[in-house]
A = this chain, B = another copy of it.
Amino acid sequence: MAPGTREKLIEVATRLLDEGGVEAVTLREVGRLAGVSHNAPYKHFASKETLLAAIAASELTRLNTVLTETTKRRRTPETALRTAMHRYVTWALEHPERFRLIFGRWSIESAELGEAAHLAQTTFVSMVAAAQDSGALPEGDPVRLASLLRALAHGAADLASAGHLAARGKGNAGPGDLVDDLFDYLRTVPSTSA
């Protein structure tokens, strides 16, 4: 039941990340809060970026689990997909620093993070394909349509979390509203009658 130093380091580093962004994650402070010396982290992680990659992979894996669990019992493929995208933008707004860490640039390869990202994408594409089959989304290459949906959700979440989304005016559309708008538009697209 003892958490183990490695897990403790990740836990503490995640807290520092949430509180002050990636700049606040210093190995010295991580070690201090974990009750070890300032370079004990090097016994578990090759570098600071490796620790950050472990955080990112852990969080993305958790997000994958939450999204698949949440959408399992939805009645229609469209509802499942919409729900997943809403949860995604909600998660991004609740954990802006984790969101930015995961989708930032990496100078190292992390197998763990790469696999989690691949799993997320595969799951998402199959959800899009199911919604296409149900007639809620237009026909065509599901990978390409999934890229469109993902780009919108990602961009809306990123702009909103950085405060760059139009906050003026009446409607005050949040990222979730933009997701709904896109779904509503796509619903009306006539079939290509291939």
Q: Give the interface segment out of A10-18, A61-69, A74-82, A155-163.
A: A155-163
A127 CB to closest chain B CB, in angstroms? 15
* Residues in B whose Cβ lies below 8 Å from that of A154: 155, 158-159
Contact B162 A105 (CB under 8 A): yes
CB within 8 Å of B: which A142-175 residues? 143-148, 150-156, 158-159, 162, 164-166, 168-169, 171, 173, 175
Chain A at the B interface: SS class: helix
Contact B166 A121 (CB under 8 A): yes
* Contact A148/B182 with A21-B105, A154-B159 known, Cβ cut-off 8 Å: yes
Contact A143 B162 (CB under 8 A): no
CB-contact partner of A138 in B104, B164, B185, under 8 A: B185
CB-contact partner of A144 in B104, B151, B164, B181, under 8 A: B181
Instruction: Please state the number of chain copies in the assembly.
Output: 2
* Residues in B whose Cβ lies below 8 Å from that of A177: 144
Q: Does A38 contact B (CB under 8 A)?
A: no
Q: Give the interface segment out of A29-37, A39-47, A51-59, A186-194.
A: A186-194
Q: Does A141 contact B (CB under 8 A)?
A: yes
Q: By CB atoms of chain B within 10 A, which of A96, A104, A141, A181 has the most?
A: A181
1/0 contact string of A82-98 vs chain B (CB within 8 Å): 00000000000000100
Contact A168 B143 (CB under 8 A): yes
Contact A166 B151 (CB under 8 A): no
Cα of A171 to Cα of B150 in the assembled complex, Å:
16
CB-contact partner of A181 in B105, B148, B175, B178, under 8 A: B148
Q: Could you name 12 residue pairs across A and B whose Cβ atoms are closer than 8 Å?
A: A138-B185, A141-B169, A143-B168, A143-B169, A144-B177, A144-B181, A147-B166, A147-B178, A148-B178, A148-B181, A151-B152, A151-B155
